[in-house]
Amino acid sequence: MTDQREDILIVDDRPENLRLLSEILTGAGYKVRRSLDAERAIDAAQLAPPDLILLDILMPEMNGYEVCERLKGDRRTDSIPVIFLSALDSIDDKVKAFEVGGVDYITKPFQQEEVLARVTTHLKIQNLNRALQHQNDLLAEEVEQRKAAESALEKALENLKMAQDQIIAREKLAALGALTAGIAHEIRNPLNFVNNYAEGSAELADDLAEELQAQAQHLDPEALESIQTLLADLKENAVAIHHHGQRAEGIIHNMMQHARMGDNAYQLRDLNALLDESIQLVFHGKRVQDLMFSAKIDKDYDPNLEPVAVLASEISRAFINIVDNAMYAIQKKQQQLGDAFTPTLSVQTQRQDHGVKISIRDNGMGIPLEHQSKIFEPFFTTKPTSDGTGLGLSMTHDIIVGQHKGTLDVKTEPGSYTEFVITLPTNP
């Protein structure tokens, strides 16, 4: 059975003092250890720290002050209360005893009542200190647990916010995709009629030209030549209509492909191909709107680019939004400066350690300083109402940052250039 009595170590070089103090303390129910040697007393205290030490001051080889300093300088014994024992009763001696770390001072000859009173008092104080330290430890542990819980809660809230942002982004994209698909579907039907009738008109012009040639001997030569010229122009127009109609049909097909919202799973895709397809889609769309528009497109695709896990339709839509803004900027600058300006779009992909870096740069009008902090805000636009809604870059930011855990940064110099830099992790 473990001895539960409080342990007191007595250190004195006189056996009669040890015997007297031992009898007093043992009789009061304390467990007592004794030592005549200062060095051995220090070893005993370090090996099995007592609850309290009674320490004589005047000892050979090492006095009590030195022993106390040794005990207070060791983390194993620095919290043990030390009561000094001495026949010295000057103020200086007592002050020095407290300076080196003592908690009390008993003068010789010993009085039993005084010894027991002081020992009992300091053991109570020691027990209270231990209880207080235990409570402090428990409190510190509770604080750490609460900090950990708060950190976990903040992380959970952050994850919830990210999930909400992704849901909102997906809902916005779904609505836009449905609208785009509906418009594309409605345009496709009349466009099919245009293509079919244009092709039929070209064939009819050929048939009419053959019939006209067969009746040439019955017609005035000048009239015949005029009719043949008109037929040739008519056929050329019909062929041009059919050609551009087919291009428009291809654009609509791509729009409907991008508008599909069924690919909710991340798939490994070639970003070079997705980016190039988006550029072609936007460029041909601009050409349909303005036949005079042209642009130099510099492509620097990294051939070592590894496939990246993405939501293909969303990433394509993000590319389209950025490229469309770039094309718009260089188109407006070309309209202002004319032939002296060469509209240029520069795109680059680069493999990185844990993902891909994509740069899309135009030499257009740049972004004014007062607008740069607002470009990713919903419904903010510098375009006329007829040219933009202000949702493109906002949704692009949601796609890249919210859905794909990437980054989207912009570098610009008003009047000179704008560059969007995208980074995407290999596995979002």
The three state secondary structure string of 35-67 is ECCHHHHHHHHHHCCCCEEEEECCCCCCCHHHH
Question: Given pLDDT bands bounded at 50, 70 and 90, which one contains residue 254?
Answer: low
- Gap between the Cα atoms of 109 and 115, Å rounded: 11
Q: So what's the pLDDT on residue 4?
A: 80
User: Are 312 and 356 in contact, with CB atoms under 8 Å apart?
Assistant: no
pLDDT tops 90 at residue 197: no
pLDDT at 262: 47
Tell me which of 142-151, 223-232, 298-307, 403-412 is least confident.
223-232
Which CATH number fits the domain that encloses residue 22?
A: 3.40.50.2300
pLDDT of residue 261: 45
Among residues 80, 110, 140, the one where a domain terminates is 110
Single-letter residue type at 411? K
Range of 115-129, 175-189, 257-271, 382-396 with top mean pLDDT: 115-129
Task: Find, among 309, 232, 229, the residue nearest to 267 by Cα.
Answer: 309
Strands 7-11 and 31-35: parallel
Q: Please, which pLDDT band fits residue 175 given cuts at 50, 70 and 90?
A: low
Name, in order, each residue with C-beta under 8 angstroms of 120's C-beta and a sequence gap of 6 or more: 28
Is residue 144 situated within a structural domain? Answer: no
Q: Please indicate, yes or no, if residue 167 is contained in any of the structural domains.
A: no
pLDDT of residue 188: 73
Write down the pLDDT at residue 369: 84
Residue 115 reports pLDDT greater than 60 = yes
Range of the domain at 409: 264-428
* pLDDT greater at residue 169 or residue 275: 275
User: Is 32 in contact with 106 (CB distance < 8 Å)?
Assistant: no
Please check whether residue 228 lies inside any domain of the structure: no
Q: Does any domain span residue 237?
A: no
Percent of the chain past pLDDT 90, that is, above it, reads 40
Top-ranked range on mean pLDDT: pick from 140-144, 209-213, 238-242, 284-288: 140-144
The mean pLDDT of 116-132, rounded to a whole number, is 91
* Alpha carbon distance 369, 371 (integer Å): 5
Distance CA 365, CA 298 (A): 18
- To the question of pTM greater than 0.85 for the whole model, the response is no
Provide the pLDDT for residue 286: 81
CB neighbours of residue 399 within 10 Å: 27
pLDDT of 227 over the 50 cut: yes
| Residue 75 covered by a domain | yes
Task: Let me know if residue 282 belongs to a domain.
Answer: yes
Share of the chain above pLDDT 70, in %: 88
When the pLDDT of each residue in the chain is averaged and rounded to a whole number, the result is 85
Could you give the number of structural domains in the chain? 2
Q: Tell me, what amino acid is at 58? A: L
Cis? peptide before 109, omega within 30° of 0: yes
Lowest mean per-residue pLDDT among 138-142, 178-182, 416-420: 178-182
Q: Is pLDDT of 218 > 60? A: yes
Distance, CA of 14 to CA of 207 (rounded, Å): 138
Is the model's pLDDT at 260 over the cut of 60?
no
Q: Is 121 exposed, middle or buried (0-12, 13-18, 19+ CB in 10 A)?
A: middle
Q: Is residue 2 part of a domain?
A: no
- Residue 183 has a pLDDT of 72
Q: Where are the beta strands (DSSP E) in 13-158?
A: 31-35, 52-56, 82-86, 104-107
Pairs from 66-72 (Cβ < 8 Å, separation ≥ 24): 66/38, 67/11, 67/38, 67/41, 67/42, 68/97, 68/100, 68/101, 68/102, 69/100, 69/101, 70/42, 71/42, 71/45, 71/101, 72/100, 72/101
Q: Are 416 and 371 in contact (CB under 8 A)?
A: no
> pLDDT of 127-137, one tens digit each?
898 899 889 99
For range 249-274, the mean pLDDT: 71
Q: Which of 95-99, 221-225, 335-339, 369-373 has the highest mean pLDDT?
A: 95-99
62, 79, 110 - which closes a domain: 110
pLDDT of residue 85 exceeding 80, the answer is yes
pLDDT at 58 over 80: yes
Q: Is residue 412 part of a domain?
A: yes
- Residue 318 belongs to domain with CATH number: 3.30.565.10
Strands lying side by side in the sheet with 355-362: 296-300, 344-352, 355-362, 417-425, 407-413
**C-alpha–C-alpha distance, residues 185 and 191, integer Å:** 10
Domain end residue (candidates: 110, 128, 151) = 110
